[in-house]
Amino acid sequence: MAASYLIYFGLPVVLMIAGLPIFLVLILTSLTAVYALTSIQPQAVVTSMFGSLDHFPLLAVPYFVLAGEIMAQGGIARRVIAWVVAIVGGVRGSLAVTTVASSEIFGAMAHSSVGTVCAVGRLLYPSLRENGYNDRFALGLIASSGAVAVIIPPSIAMILYSMSAQQSALQLFTAGILPSLLIGAAGAAYVIVYSHAKAIPLTSRLRWSNIWSTTKDAGWALSTIAVIFGGIYGGIFTPTEAAGVAVVYSLFVTMFIYKELSLPELWRVTMGAAYLISQILIIVAAAGTYSWLLTTSGIPREIVSGIEALHMRPWQTLLLINAALLVAGSFLEPPAAILILTPLLVPIAVAAGVDPVHFGIIMAVNLSVGLYTPPFGLNLFATHAVFGAPIGAVYRGVLPFVAINFAVLLVITYVPAISLALLAR
């Protein structure tokens, strides 16, 4: 059994340190396990990879990615941000609050953490710097705020968790509403306190005429959220169908209402989305095979039995899981982490008395914090690449936000009602 642990856990670490992409790490680990530990024919790996993609809810992923790219490039993101700026004008720290609020709204529409960092950051970073925020704070704010897209519904991470844990995607979406708002409120509170402490000047006064004009201009953009959420929670279409509707609606708005996306630009956006989609789906395929082999090896059952033998209290078990997820989240992208770790951790959480829907939120929040936790959080490198900032400045800038959101994570973990209050059970 020692050889199994070495192959399933030790080999991936070695391959990641060697710099191999995560999908290749998982495929090579799976093939090694097949040859060294099982009598399974190698062809079963290929069958399992294709089988991992044969899930109806997974159809939502490419549609949501494409819709997010269209919104980012077609003027929707810019209008949403202008609307938020108009509403919070007159508050000291309004630009920083706008970054947090815009990330929440755009994350609900784009469903991509890196996409949110790029779309919101490109629009607000210059203004943050011009209005008294230092580079380190602005970079940390943008990198951390974009991670809320992992939690706020309809989240791609929730769709993948629903597949892996056999839970309702709709219930997971509903459970993610209050935690994502709590994270946004904590971030907004911190930046307001920071702005007062640093005497950041007011940017603009609250004017109803400005709110009215930006609301009219952003009406079609903001209706994207109403179409998606109204359709899902009104029972008009499933989350998967909602993703397709989001693509059609965003195309209609950007091409025929705002007229900011031409056919050549649409081709460029579609190719960019196809590249992102391929990255996600090849990880899904590879992680599905890895998870299947890991589950059939009996290792998850052994780990559950080992933790039960320690007679840990539920809060201690959850603290241990949180620590493991934060470490994993700082190395792995959320799709890979969810697909690899869900079969391993859900039995442990259920044995500790944790509702599997609540645990899905715990996983998502952990992995969202991991996206901007040094040294390897994906949002850190996205921020570094987009703004050309020294990676050290990005690291220092996110540390206060890591601390704040870790505290929020503990509240969400130990107060299940925050996640489960809106569920009709």
Give which of 365, 358, 376, 357 is closest to 405, Cα–Cα: 365
pLDDT at 408: 95
Cα angle for residues 267, 273, 274 (degrees, 5° grid): 85
**20 domain-assigned:** no
Please state the pTM of the whole predicted model: 0.80
**19 domain-assigned:** no
**18 domain-assigned:** no
Q: What does the alpha-carbon distance between residue 368 and residue 388 come to, in Å, rounded to a whole number?
A: 23
**49 domain-assigned:** no
**43 domain-assigned:** no
Local structure of residue 54 (DSSP, 8 states): -
**21 domain-assigned:** no
pLDDT at 64: 80
Are 362 and 322 spatial neighbours (Cβ–Cβ below 8 Å)?
yes
CB atoms within 10 A of CB 130: 10
User: Would you report the helix, strand and coil content of the chain in percent, each value rounded to 5?
Assistant: 80, 0, 20
3-class DSSP assignment, residue 318: helix
pLDDT at 405: 93
State both tokens at 307: 């933790």
Query: Can you give the residue range of the structural domain that contains 295?
Result: 54-420
State both tokens at 46: 């290929």
- The count of domains in the chain is 1
Q: Is 313 exposed, middle or buried (0-12, 13-18, 19+ CB in 10 A)?
A: exposed
**314 domain-assigned:** yes
Low-confidence ranges of the chain (pLDDT < 70): 1, 57, 89-90, 110, 202-207, 304, 424-425
pLDDT at 341: 86
Q: What does the alpha-carbon distance between residue 217 and residue 207 come to, in Å, rounded to a whole number?
A: 16
**272 domain-assigned:** yes
